Amino acid sequence: MTTAELRKKYLDFFTDKGHAILPSASLFPENDSTTLFTGSGMQPMIPYLLGEKHPQGALLADSQKCFRSQDIDEVGDNRHTTFFEMLGNWSLGDYFKKEQILWMFEFLTDVVGLDPQRIYVSVFSGKDEVGVPRDEESAKLWQKVFKGVGIEAKVVDEADKKGMQDVRIFYYDESKNWWSRSGVTDNMPVGEPGGPDSEMFWDFGQEYGFHEKSEYKDKPCHINCDCGRFIEIGNNVFMQYKKTDDGFEPLPQNNVDFGGGLERMVMASMDVADIFQIDVFVPVIAKIEEISGQSYEAGSEDVKKAMRIIADHIRAATMIMADVSGVGPSKADQGYIVRRLIRRAVVYGKKIEIGQESWTAELAEIVLDDYKDVYSEAGKNKKFVLDNLREA
């Protein structure tokens, strides 16, 4: 399944559930000084999660362009990218956990066609000292939907210490299963919304030997292990609390805030354990192979890493520059990140002996052509992007 096909299936699914479809917001957040970029689908939704009425109603969905600069140094493995699209749906005081869990299971298994035997989930273990209880409701709802397809879903705590244990549902603490823009509860400013989340993971299988080949091989493998066997494909955030001076209090309404990585869902649908082998990266990688004279598939791990970094960084820099509020490389703010991405791509280009001129612009042109029908700014700002890369 291609990214375009999966994006459409998702938006059509939630249209049928009564949701209004929103256009992607800019990669440059409005009225939010906490971050340089839009890094999640919920950032533009903060006022409405806090209780403000959205002009298009209480049921909303979109595919949001996102960029996370904190992941720059993570790129190079089989799953990390800095730029991605996040599929989102929101209930602003309407449906809650029961409907969201049922619908997401329906979408992943019936619409995308994922094997439920290879889907695992996590839920929040609670934090009593701040007044947020263990999310037993979500665990029970997941057990019910798994039972509906003949899977007896066992639940366990502390999977990171005990491993898989033939378990389907795992409790984790706030470092894994609590969501706010600021992270864990202690880091949240007063007034910030947050809530427990329930993440969904796809299992690529033991046969790849990801865990045995990783630096975590001497530790138990579990769904939140960073070995690469499991990949998070979606996160159901139940945004129901607000930080106060005295701890946490319920928001005026219970909200659902779902975010799912479009590209990662495509990986799962194809059962391909490498995000750089899905459709949006294939032509970029092919061009890198052409200009470097090296093979991605047959190359060493160092060659693969270099090609992944180049493909991701040029794609990300291109989409930042092509945004409706796009900027070119510079020494400050978002422009500094663009410059860093381009320079890092060029460094890794030299490592795989790319010698020709303006190769970054050639890769960017592939990216722009791929996205111009989805995001019109990718076509309108093409000259700006290519000129900046040729001068970089």
Helices (H), the chain: 3-16, 46-49, 97-106, 136-147, 159-162, 174-177, 210-213, 262-270, 282-292, 301-322, 333-351, 359-371, 377-380, 382-391
Contact predicate 135/124, CB 8 Å: yes
> Is residue 203 within 8 Å of residue 231, measured between CB atoms?
no
pLDDT digits (tens), the chain, 392 positions? 999 999 999 999 999 999 999 999 999 988 677 789 998 888 888 888 878 899 999 999 999 999 999 999 999 998 899 999 999 999 999 999 999 999 999 999 999 999 999 999 999 999 998 889 999 999 999 999 999 999 999 998 876 677 888 899 999 999 999 998 889 999 999 998 899 999 999 999 988 899 999 999 999 999 999 998 999 999 999 999 999 998 899 988 899 999 999 999 999 999 999 999 999 999 999 999 999 999 999 999 999 999 999 999 999 999 999 998 889 999 999 999 999 999 999 999 999 999 888 999 999 999 999 999 999 999 999 999 999 999 87
Between the alpha carbon of residue 57 and those of residues 60, 93, 96, 228, the distances in Å are 7, 10, 16, 39
* The residue to which tokens 């992941």 are assigned: 71
**Structure tokens that stand for 154 in this block:** 């066992």
Q: 61 is written with which tokens?
A: 């969905």
Q: How far is CA 209 from the centre of its chain?
A: 24
Strand, coil or helix: what is 236?
Answer: strand
CA-to-CA dists, residue 371 to 9, 316, 364, 366, 368, angstroms: 17, 12, 11, 9, 5
Q: CB of 198 within 8 A of CB of 178?
A: no
Which amino acid is located at 209 in the chain?
A: G
User: Where on the phi/psi map is residue 359: left (φ > 0), alpha (ψ -120 to 50), or beta?
Assistant: alpha
Alpha-helical (H) ranges within 17-135 are 46-49, 97-106
Q: Exposed, middle or buried, 343 (CB in 10 Å: 0-12/13-18/19+)? A: middle
Question: For residue 369, what are the contacts with CB-CB under 8 A and spacing of at least 6?
Answer: none
